[in-house]
Amino acid sequence: MRIAFYCPTVDLSDDTPSGDRRMADLLIAALRLAGHEVVIASRLRSYGKAADAARLIKLEDEASRDRNHLVRRFGDGGQAPDLWFTYHPYYKAPDLIGPLLSQTFSIPYVTAEASFAGKRAAGPWADWHKASLPALARAACHFIFTARDREGLLAGGVEQSAMVDLPPFIDTAPFLTVAGPRLRNRPPHMVCVAMMRGGRKLQSFRDLANALARLGDIGWRLTLYGDGPQRAAVEAAFAVLPAGRIHFAGRIAPQDLPAALAGADLYVWPGLGEAYGLAYLEAQAAGLPVVAYDSGGVSACVEDGQTGLLVGENDDAGFAAAIRSLLQNSELRDRLGSEACTMVLTKRSLSVAAERLEAALSLIVPASPSWRQVMP
């Protein structure tokens, strides 16, 4: 079928590194793998960093113009979509287009990674919160990435029957041939990949540095991939560690990442408040066990005791102890890394996601010869 796809948090034509953009691209790839035609319906970015009432009014005007344009585009001899799919609508990035357009064209409306924050119903974000509610009410189906999002939608009045589990996933193809035996004739090599931004990202770097400061008595080295406006602050956080232990490698090209990960032994990243963390899935696909906080939606990507070790938020001592246990036990690293690789390759691939999406969407839009295709 023909699917109108929209992501209100980012402009999908921008190449600035973004977790939302990556997940949107993966959803589009999975929908296309399932045999559907996907068209980007709008590039309007409704994300607001602050509760700016004037900006919301302006966005509503821009959304109205986009809706009118789409009515002409699809209704004036054009082919109307069979379904509208919005990725990540929430109070800071409300979908001001899809709910009304889907009603205009009498087509189903679905979301992925929608969220509900009841505490925003009052206070400075109240109008933005209200603008996000039509997406919850209109959707025939919500694809749920994490248990936290499920709990939020239930609190927002969404029926359990309208939710379909879709665990975070990646394109596993680049990782199929990279995982292999780890080298033993050197100190264990740890790695992490993260943008060097402020807020919880910077705090995660500081927590990691604090944990590693407790491990000066054993051998290890760490490569940090990533860059950003807080690089100087990140470097300062690690400056207290012994010289030669830390390597700042900067940004890494996506095509180079699988081999770089596979050359390491352990992936370490606290992930304070992470929505889920695709980087964890990439590391595991390369055969690396993970040490992370049990924070946000991280447990949707890392299975504690099976593919890695999760510790409580802000627990430097616990984080250090988890890292120590894996640095000093190569058999445990190998076992968790092997299970991590198997988990991602068999359960979190594009093809598995495509099957899950197709199974749900086929119930929403009845099969017909005009669009129904056999899965590749």
Residue 233, both tokens? 């602050």
Examine the domain organization and report whether 179 and 155 are in the same domain.
Answer: no
Examine the domain organization and report whether 147 and 210 are in the same domain.
Answer: no
Instruction: Give strand pairing partners of 291.
Output: 268, 309
Mapped onto helix, strand or coil, the DSSP state of residue 68 is helix
Between 141 and 74, the higher pLDDT residue: 141
Residue 358's pLDDT is what? Answer: 96
Examine the domain organization and report whether 163 and 71 are in the same domain.
Answer: yes
Domain assignment of residue 196, yes or no: yes
Domain tally for the chain?
2
Residue 183's pLDDT is what? Answer: 65
- Residue type, position 116, single letter: F
The pTM score is: 0.92
Q: Is the pLDDT of residue 14 over 90?
A: no
Residue 178's pLDDT is what? Answer: 82
Examine the domain organization and report whether 73 and 107 are in the same domain.
Answer: yes
Examine the domain organization and report whether 124 and 182 are in the same domain.
Answer: no
When pLDDT is averaged across residues 260-283 and rounded to a whole number, the result is 96
CB atoms within 10 A of CB 79: 10
Cα–Cα distance measured from residue 125 to residue 119, given in angstroms and rounded to the nearest whole number: 9
| Domain ranges, residue 291 | 173-347
CB atoms within 10 A of CB 133: 17
Domain assignment of residue 78, yes or no: yes
* Residue (of 83, 30, 127) closest to 349 by Cα position: 30
Examine the domain organization and report whether 135 and 186 are in the same domain.
Answer: no
Task: Kindly write down the DSSP assignment for every residue of 141-189, as one continuous string.
Answer: EEEE-SHHHHHHHHHTT--GGGEEE-------GGGTTT--PPP-SS--E
Cα–Cα distance measured from residue 42 to residue 46, given in angstroms and rounded to the nearest whole number: 11
CATH number at residue 177: 3.40.50.2000
**Per-residue model confidence as pLDDT tens digits over 85-131:** 999 999 999 999 999 999 999 999 999 999 999 999 999 999 999 99
Q: Is the pLDDT of residue 15 over 80?
A: no
Cα–Cα distance measured from residue 263 to residue 15, given in angstroms and rounded to the nearest whole number: 27
* Confidence category of residue 182, pLDDT binned at 50, 70, 90: low
Examine the domain organization and report whether 121 and 77 are in the same domain.
Answer: yes
Residue 60's pLDDT is what? Answer: 96
- Helices 231-238 and 200-212: crossing angle, nearest 10°? 20
Cα–Cα distance measured from residue 322 to residue 268, given in angstroms and rounded to the nearest whole number: 10
Average pLDDT, the chain: 93
Residue 79's pLDDT is what? Answer: 83
Residue 96, both tokens? 């001001």
**Per-residue model confidence as pLDDT tens digits over 214-245:** 999 999 999 999 999 999 999 999 999 998 99
Residue 357's pLDDT is what? Answer: 97
* Confidence category of residue 374, pLDDT binned at 50, 70, 90: very low
Domain assignment of residue 191, yes or no: yes
- Cβ neighbors of 339 (< 8 A, separation 6 or more) are 303, 306, 307
* Confidence category of residue 368, pLDDT binned at 50, 70, 90: very low
Residue 371's pLDDT is what? Answer: 39
* Confidence category of residue 181, pLDDT binned at 50, 70, 90: low
Residue 186's pLDDT is what? Answer: 83
Examine the domain organization and report whether 65 and 84 are in the same domain.
Answer: yes
Strands of the 308-311 sheet, one edge to the other: 246-250, 221-225, 189-193, 266-268, 290-293, 308-311
Domain assignment of residue 370, yes or no: no
Examine the domain organization and report whether 196 and 318 are in the same domain.
Answer: yes
